[in-house]
Structure 1
Amino acid sequence: MDSRSDIREFLTTRRARLTPEQAGLPNFGGRRRVPGLRREEVALLAGMSVEYYVRLERGNATGVSESVLEGISRALQLDDAERTHLYDLVRSANEGARPRQQQRPARQQQVRPGVQQTIDAMTGVPVVVQNGRLDVVAANRLGFALFSEAYVQPQRPANLARFVFLDPRAQTFFRHWDDTAYQSVAVLRSEAGRAPYDRALSDLVGELSTRSDAFRSLWASHDVREHRTGTKSVHHPVVGDLDLSYEGMELSSERGLILLAYTAEPGSSSHDGLQLLANWAATTDAAASTSSPVPTEATDA
């Protein structure tokens, strides 16, 4: 991935989405040749020369200070995820050559036994541990049961972005597939800013871009998102519709991994569905291991 090109595309797409009125600038009418703000308007709002901003938007991030990035973040009204992404892109562009450790093939991530024991003890809620590529690195029994459809695919570790875009089951499993697809790509785009030389991530993006028109279109939008909290509405093949909330927590002892715990409103049909799912998981032992396919009952139900 090319950090200089990503800076250019990211700033251009952020600039295009803002109108002068949204930015607090007067609109003198007339025909505008570009959607959204002009470069000189961004420079004015950020408190810098037009030449300097143009240089940065072209991907030349050499020597860019934090105050400059803060000014651009305010001018373009970036949210926290977008601001972090801009900083990541500039840092990567200034690193120059690929860090030696990132040139090697990525080894499969694992959690420490203590982390696995902890999530296994959380028997009442589905828990999965993901990396920035949306690989499912670990899960408890109920977490494996919840995402059993993703384990029909042969690749290990199971990857939720690959499931979303390349497996027809995902269109039924995720009841709001469009939202899930958008969020998945935005998370991957954020990870690309943090780790532009991650070979496994580059391979995944290349595979999805080649095989999915939907992914290719969403990737071009350069939208980013942090996987912190939200809702997930799924249709599970065993227990039916589930409306779940999730909270994401970074594992301080496992760099780059996030723990996601899913819950349902007490007394709701989704809460009852999770209890049924837990009973089903216990009888089928759906969480035998990350490398074993789920039992056939999960796919035939």
Structure 2
Amino acid sequence: MLRRLLDSMAGFPAFATNHRLDVVAWNALGAELIGGLGEPAGRDRNNARYLFLDPASRVVHPEWEDRAAEAVGQLRVWSGRYPDDAELAALIAELTALSQEFRRIWDSGEVVMCAAGRKRLRHPVAGLLTLDFETLHVPAAPGETGLVVHVFSAEEGSEEAAALARLTEAVRVAHRP
């Protein structure tokens, strides 16, 4: 059902994450906007691991420090909510061991939850985009943790809307049978 919903939003880049910041579902435009999700050998599908361990994330996210603080803040919230999640604890331990920047932000104790606003992203075809975003929480089924859907859009008639339309067309052509 979630995948059908994301696919029906073809003109809006969208993807869903779990409490570990794993990208678990996306539409074609969302995969293209945040880079490489649709490719088996593409970027790491865990947003925190991608931000802290892949230098390409700094190209995609010109406001990298803000995105990094959001990721750490979200992991802090989820680790408090799910203290027995061994995979989440392992992810935090891995990032702590491998990234001085993760350790610095984690040690600050800051909690950041991202609900709506604007984000800047750089794409090789569309260029630098400043897009509006909303995060939508999908309620959890019994025994599960729920998901967060991230949806991006541009103001109609703006340069970003034109760039997003170009990106949408490029994705459509690339996925044509």
TM-score (norm 2): 0.89
Of 264, 279, 282, the residue aligned with 2:169 is 279
Distance 1:138 1:145 in 2: 13
Q: How does 1:30-109 map onto structure 2 within 5 Å?
A: none
RMSD of Structure 2 on Structure 1 (CA): 2.1
Of 265, 268, 274, the residue aligned with 2:158 is 268
Change (3 A) 1:135 1:245: same
Q: Could you report, residue by residue, the CA deviation over 1:125-178 in whole angstroms, capped at 9, with x for unpaired residues?
A: 011111121111101111111112466785897011111111111111101111
Matched AA of 2:133: Y
Runs of at least 4 residues of structure 1 off by over 4 A?
Answer: 149-157
Q: 5+ residue gaps in structure 2?
A: none
Q: 5+ residue gaps in structure 1?
A: 1-113, 287-301
Matched AA of 1:258: V
Q: Residue 220 of structure 1: SS of its match in structure 2?
A: helix
Is the Cα–Cα contact under 8 Å of residues 28 and 38 in structure 2 kept in the other structure?
no
Q: How does 1:217-236 map onto structure 2 within 5 Å?
A: 217-236=104-123
Distance 2:87 2:58 in 1: 25
More helix as a share of residues: 1
Kindly indicate whether structure 1 or structure 2 has the higher relative contact order, using CA contacts under 8 Å at least 6 residues apart. 2
The equivalent of 2:101 in structure 1 is 214
Is the Cα–Cα contact under 8 Å of residues 35 and 43 in structure 2 kept in the other structure?
no
More strand as a share of residues: 2
Distance 2:39 2:93 in 1: 22
Distance 2:57 2:37 in 1: 8
Report the alpha carbon displacement of residue 271 of structure 1 after superposing the two structures with TM: 0.9
Report the alpha carbon displacement of residue 281 of structure 1 after superposing the two structures with TM: 1.2
Change (3 A) 1:154 1:201: farther
Is the Cα–Cα contact under 8 Å of residues 251 and 257 in structure 1 kept in the other structure?
yes
Q: Highest Rg: 1 or 2?
A: 1
Is the Cα–Cα contact under 8 Å of residues 60 and 122 in structure 2 kept in the other structure?
yes
Distance 2:103 2:44 in 1: 23
Distance 1:226 1:237 in 2: 28
Distance 1:187 1:253 in 2: 17
Q: Residue 234 of structure 1: SS of its match in structure 2?
A: strand
Q: How many residues align?
A: 173
TM-score (norm 1): 0.54
The equivalent of 1:196 in structure 2 is 83
Report the alpha carbon displacement of residue 203 of structure 1 after superposing the two structures with TM: 1.3
The equivalent of 1:119 in structure 2 is 6
The answer as to 2:127 corresponding to 1:240 is yes
Is the Cα–Cα contact under 8 Å of residues 133 and 150 in structure 2 kept in the other structure?
yes
Q: Residue 125 of structure 1: SS of its match in structure 2?
A: coil
